Amino acid sequence: MSTLPPGVERILFTEEQIRERLKEVAAEIDARYQGRTLKLVAVLKGSVFFLTALARELTVPVKVDFLAISSFSSRAGAPGVVRIAKDLDDSIEGEDVLLVEDIVDTGFTLRYLLRTLAGRKPNSLGVCTFLDRTSKRIVQVPVDFRCFEIPDRFVIGFGLDYHQLYRNLNCVAVMKV
Ligand code: IMP
Ligand code: MG
């Protein structure tokens, strides 16, 4: 999808900028995991768009697996309680796992995922995020690879949704919300 939806204020990253940056980050990942097989793990649904684009740029052998989570908030503004709604299909014990995220914001989701996956004894556990909004971080989490740092504005596209829409936008855009 390349037609901008209503409510878009401006494009933050074009399709071309994203493609170029993905190649750079893929080269960093290739260098780090040379000679090994990577298991890319992503959370449904947003991160799937980034994962497939990234995987196609990697030269190290990759496997992929997915999980889904649900977040609940007991009161408005409180950090969400996260639980696994659909688990990975396979064990990650002894594997080199790279957790692929669409965006790291407060860090609560990522912290929960890292704790859960670390308990399954992978050989290594890294994090690669498409977008990073460090200005909103509440809990400190390790990010090994990032494509773009973004301002404190709501964004859509390349997997990121607004009420489940616009994930298939080829660019990343700022919404007027
Ligand atoms: P957090 O790091 O636990 O706060 O959670 C990040 C999650 O919030 C992401 O996986 C997205 O689903 C969602 N999210 C945060 N910021 C945005 C945004 O700007 N656009 C769309 N979704 C967002
Ligand atoms: Mg979302």
In this predicted model, what pLDDT tens digit does every residue of 116-132 receive, in sequence order? Answer: 999 999 999 999 999 99
Q: How confident is the model at residue 81 (pLDDT cuts 50, 70, 90)?
A: confident
pLDDT number for residue 91: 98
As annotated, the active-site residues are: 105
Reported residue count of the chain is: 177
Q: What is the CA(73)–ligand 2 centre distance, in A?
A: 14
Q: What is the pTM of this model?
A: 0.93
Beta strands in 14-123 (DSSP E): 38-44, 62-72, 81-86, 96-104
The CATH number of 22-70+81-153 is: 3.40.50.2020
Integer Cα distance of 99 and 144 in angstroms: 10
Q: Domain segments of the chain: what residues?
A: 22-70+81-153
Q: Which pLDDT band, with edges at 50, 70 and 90, does 72 fall under? A: confident
Q: For position 54, what pLDDT does the model report?
A: 98
Name the percent of the chain lying above pLDDT 70. Answer: 95
Residue with structure tokens 């949704």?
Answer: 161
Atom in ligand 1 nearest the alpha carbon of residue 102: 10
Q: Is the pLDDT of residue 104 over 80?
A: yes
**How remote is the CA of residue 66 from the centroid of ligand 2, in Å?**
15
Give pLDDT, residue 75: 59
| Ligand 1 atom with least separation from CA of 150 | 19
Q: Which of 53-57, 62-66, 76-80, 105-109 has the lowest mean pLDDT?
A: 76-80
108: helix, strand or coil: helix
